Each structure stands twice: as structure tokens, then as C-alpha cells.
A and B are shown apart, each in its own frame.
Chain A
Amino acid sequence: MCKIMQNKKGAVLVFVLLIGSVMIVTGTALLSTAAMNYKMKRLNSQVKHVFYTCEAVMEEAYIMSVEYIEDALTYARGKEQASFEKSYINFLKGNCMDLPPSGGIVGILKDKSRYILYKDNCYRIDSKLLEKIGFYQLEIISTYSENNIEKQLKLICEINTPEMNDNFPFLDIVAEDLIDIVDWKVER
């Protein structure tokens, strides 16, 4: 037993192999950590990309809503003062008798062909117009997905009607005065 312990033949080789395996294990661990880190950074970049695109779609939808309210104001100004509010709301809802059915603000927002900047199939837009006391609540949900990453943003805004004590035909009122952003949040 003592002789075996004293026999040091091959000890250097064993030592080298031991050191070598430690180096290889450490190197592989470092490489895999670096590769994982790189993957995470790429994923982070893709997530941000998806988020900004989703936000851009939402912003385009918001500007389309503002323009639609402007159209509703123009339409209602052409009517009598007594029917101004009704005409304005009917235009928003798409219930005007003298115009072809358009689906109103909700129909316009859901129609992808009306979007100028984002026409691909990677995004979905959903919108709702809810009647509240004294105002209408417009909800726009923008969902964008790319490379299995999905982001959803929700915009809630209030659409008001011009105060009737203002001077008809309310030429000093613009659409932006009638729309207020209540909430703008990331859903997931």
C-alpha cells in the first residue's frame, strides 16, 4: 500500500488532465453564460421593437380617431343647431341616415386598409365605443406580435360633445378639445 502511494509515475499527466478539465469546464461555462447573455440582449431588443411598433399602431389609431372627430364636427356643423349634438353622435356611431353606413369611429379604427403606416398582418386593432354619463368612452386595444413575442396596449379616452352654451357652429372648437386620454397602458 505504501509502495503504491510512493509510486508517482503519471502524476504530472494526471495533474495536467485535471487542470485541463477544469479549464475546459470553466471555459464552456463562460461561453454558455456569454451566449445566454447575448440571447437575452437580442430578446430584449426584439421585445422593445415589438413594443414600439405596437405603440406606433396605437398612435396612428389615436390620430385617426382625432381626425374622425374632426369630420364629425364638420358634419354636425352643417346641420341645424338643435340637431347638432345628435348629428355629431350619430356620425361617431355611424348611424347617419344621409351617409352610407361606415361603422362609425369603431368601424374606421378596425378597418386595417385605412392605416397608412402599418398594413401588415402582425397586428390587431380592436376598439369599443361605450356610452357613459355625459361623454363617450373610446377604448382602443392594439396587439402586435413578431417572433412569438406579443405586446398589447390599451388606450382609453373620453370623447365629449361641444358645450351647447358655446357659440354655434363652434368654429373655435377643434377635435383635440373634445378628446381626452384617460389611460394608456401595457396589457401584457
Chain B
Amino acid sequence: MKNVKTYNSGFTIIELLFALTIFSILFIAVSSLLMTTIKISETSKQQYDALILAQNHLEMIKASKEVLKAKERYQYGIYDIEVDIQDIPEYGGKLYKVIIEVSAYNRILEKIEGLKIVEVWE
């Protein structure tokens, strides 16, 4: 019985160290996996927010009665919204080109283009 005990002594600590090493390797791998997941989720959220912001601005301009040919910048949280309304001279003030660009941290996330019909006859 004593011989068996001697044979087993120190086994747990070696096993524990070995297990800890494997666990650390796995933990590092899984953490990097989780970090990538968090990064993707954040990018995904920013992409969606940017789309919603761009869409809201475009719909607001489309629904408005009047438009002004201008280039304006807005700040909404981390997002920079650039609204560019261009006149199309060929259509005699009836049609405007609207370009909405949403960026965050100097990175363009969304760019939507649309047209705005101005009801000059009303």
C-alpha cells in the first residue's frame, strides 16, 4: 500500500500543471474567438445604425416640401452624417440628387443615393 502511494505521489500536481497548460492554450484560443465575435458584432451594429440613420435622413428629405442645395454635416453619437443635396440643372429645379454618407471613426459605413422630386407646381 505504501509502495502504491509513493508511486502516485506528485501525480496530481503534474496532472494539474498539464491541465492548466492545456486550459490556458484553449482559453487564449477561445478568447481570441470571442474578441473576434465582439468585434464583428460591433461592426454589425455600426453598419445597421449607419443604414438606419442614412435611410431616416433620406426619407426625411424625400418627404419634405422644399429642399436646399447644400452640403451639411451632422453628428449623431459616434456617427458623422454628411448630407449632400445637388441640383440637376437639366431638370430645371424639379429634381435633386441626394447623397447621404454615414461614417464613424473616419470610416465610411453607409452611402445611400436617391432623388428628390420638388413639386414646383404646388
Contacts and interface: CB of A to CB of B under 8 A. Distances in A.
Interface string B1-44: 00000000001100110111011001101100110110011011
A35 interface: yes
Nearest to A13: B19
B58 A52 contact: yes
Interface string B69-95: 000000000000000000010110011
A10 B112 CA distance: 60
Contact of B19 (A12, A60, A63, A66): A12
Contact of A37 (B22, B44, B117): B44
A63 B30 CA distance: 57
B40 A174 contact: no
A49 interface: yes
Interface in B79-122: 88, 90-91, 94-95, 97, 110, 112-115, 117, 119-121
Contacts of A9: 11, 15
A19 interface: yes
B67 interface: no
Given A30-B37, A63-B94, 7 more contacts: A12-B19, A16-B19, A28-B33, A37-B44, A48-B55, A56-B115, A116-B90
Nearest to B117: A59
Interface of B: 11-12, 15-16, 18-20, 22-23, 26-27, 29-30, 33-34, 36-37, 40-41, 43-44, 47-48, 51, 55, 58, 88, 90-91, 94-95, 97, 110, 112-115, 117, 119-121
Where chain B touches its partner, the secondary structure class is helix
A61 to B, nearest CB: 11
Contact of B15 (A12, A26, A117): A12
Contacts of B112: 48-49, 52
Contacts of A10: 15
Where chain A touches its partner, the secondary structure class is helix
Given A56-B114, A63-B117, A66-B94, A42 B47 contact: yes
Contact of B37 (A27, A174, A177): A27
A23 B26 contact: yes
Contacts of B121: 174, 176-177
Nearest to A11: B15
Interface in A47-82: 48-49, 52-53, 55-56, 59-60, 62-63, 66-67
Contacts of B51: 41, 44-45, 48
A17 B22 contact: yes
A13 B48 contact: no
> Which of A34, A55, A60 lies at the interface centre, i.e. has the most chain B CB atoms within 10 A of its CB?
A34
24 contacts: A9-B11, A13-B15, A15-B19, A19-B26, A23-B26, A24-B30, A27-B30, A28-B33, A30-B34, A37-B41, A41-B51, A44-B48, A45-B51, A52-B58, A52-B113, A53-B113, A56-B114, A59-B117, A63-B94, A66-B94, A67-B91, A117-B97, A174-B121, A176-B121
